[in-house]
Amino acid sequence: MTFAKRTNWNTAPNALTQALERIKTAPDFIDLTVSNPTLCGFRYLAPALLQGFQSPQNLLYQPDAHGLPEARQSICAYYARRGVTVSPDQIFITANTSEAYTFVFKLLADAGDRVLAPAPGYPLIEYLAGLNDLTLERYPLCDRNGWSTDLKTLAGLLTAETKALMLVHPANPTGNYAAAEERAALIDLCTRFATPIIADEVFFDFAWGPQDRFESFASNNRGLTFTLSGISKILGLPQMKLSWIVVTGPEALRREACRRLEIISDTYLSASTPIQNALPFWFGREEAICGEIRSRIRENRALLEKAFGTHTRIKLSKGSGGWTSVLEMPADKPDEEWALYFLENFQTALHPGYLFDLPAEKSYLVVSLLIPPDKMHQGLGRLKLGLN
Ligand SMILES: Cc1ncc(COP(=O)(O)O)c(C=O)c1O
């Protein structure tokens, strides 16, 4: 027998994963890559959060292809707090963001069709596109004193055959939001080619500057737009499994997209009733939860700025938000060698840039901003020491 070609992944451990296996149990190991908020010592993860499960409604099964109405209303209220008006019939609840991507891919593209995604970017996109039999093409983000879309190159890649343009707002791992001008240019381009936008906004609420304000793609009605988000990041609850798609765009197109998405979603109905019923309760704690995560990432970002903002050998990429930061290392070692060097000599784990398709001609490491600040402080001290 043979397995499907789409599963022919290279899963052999490389030098870095082998070293990590050996070193991760060392008593002084510091993991600067942790991105699971349930392992980062946050106070919001208290038993009181489980009170959201007390509703007797959890004993009923009332399937709805869009997701339960009260949960969808609480998602609309989330957007209203950000100045965006959407109605519950524009929302589809899914079990996670990967499923949301899959539903939108199923809606827009057939096997072999082209979709565009940013590079550097979110590593899972390649798997999601592959599992849906899509041809993934990359458009570049460039670091010009802060990362942004290379609009000229993107314009040359978009064609009437492009089935979707993906973007992450703010981007992972580079931390750039599509600022007003870039957002307008992206929307113009996609409108010109009638290309639907898939905007992943899971990190939208994590701006590093307290005064910074950005606009969600959920307010775009010029062309068909699918805005994805979920509670794994915005409420720091990845174990609960709830995400959504907001469908916006010209009314007739939007309605047709929703009619088709209803059938896709009805085929799976994977978001559980208790989690959907708990959503309004959790949103009631949004300020406390998101506020605590935001202060953590701002504190860690400030530590990074202090350590490497004006460093002569490591350049900290400028950015505006998200859960990660990018360090440009001296080019005398490739990224994997830097990661191995810190792991083996300083028991400190960092992600090499290639995991996120950061440009190979330079050497990048990626750091998580979720780790407890005392560990961050210690870890950054080791990075400095390693360069002396
Ligand atoms: C850009 C981006 N989108 C989506 C996700 C995953 O979201 P979920 O846990 O809802 O599938 C991640 C996880 O790291 C991410 O970085």
Domains recognised in the chain with CATH numbers: 14-43+287-387 (3.90.1150.10), 54-284 (3.40.640.10)
Confidence of residue 380 (pLDDT cuts 50, 70, 90): very high
Do 30 and 347 touch, CB atoms closer than 8 A? yes
Is 33 near ligand 1, meaning CB less than 6 Å away? Answer: no
| C-alpha distances out from residue 238 to 61, 97, 162, 243, 266, Å | 23, 10, 31, 10, 23
| Nearest-angstrom CA–CA distance, 188 and 176 | 19
**Mean pLDDT score, 291-314:** 96
Gap from CA of 1 to ligand 1 centroid (Å): 34
Each residue's pLDDT tens digit, 42-57: 999 999 999 999 999 9
Given a cut of 90, whether residue 388 has pLDDT beyond it is: no
Question: Mean pLDDT in the chain?
Answer: 97
Question: What's the predicted TM-score (pTM) here?
Answer: 0.98
| Nearest-angstrom CA–CA distance, 277 and 90 | 19
| Nearest-angstrom CA–CA distance, 192 and 74 | 34
Number of H helices, E strands in the chain: 12, 14
Gap from CA of 64 to ligand 1 centroid (Å): 24
Each residue's pLDDT tens digit, 219-269: 999 999 999 999 999 999 999 999 999 999 999 999 999 999 999 999 999
- The protein residue whose alpha carbon is closest to atom 6 in ligand 1 is 97
Give me Rg for the CA atoms of the chain.
21
| C-alpha distances out from residue 234 to 51, 87, 258, 259, 352, Å | 19, 20, 24, 28, 26
Each residue's pLDDT tens digit, 329-356: 999 999 999 999 999 999 999 999 999 9
Amino acid at residue number 157: L
Confidence of residue 93 (pLDDT cuts 50, 70, 90): very high
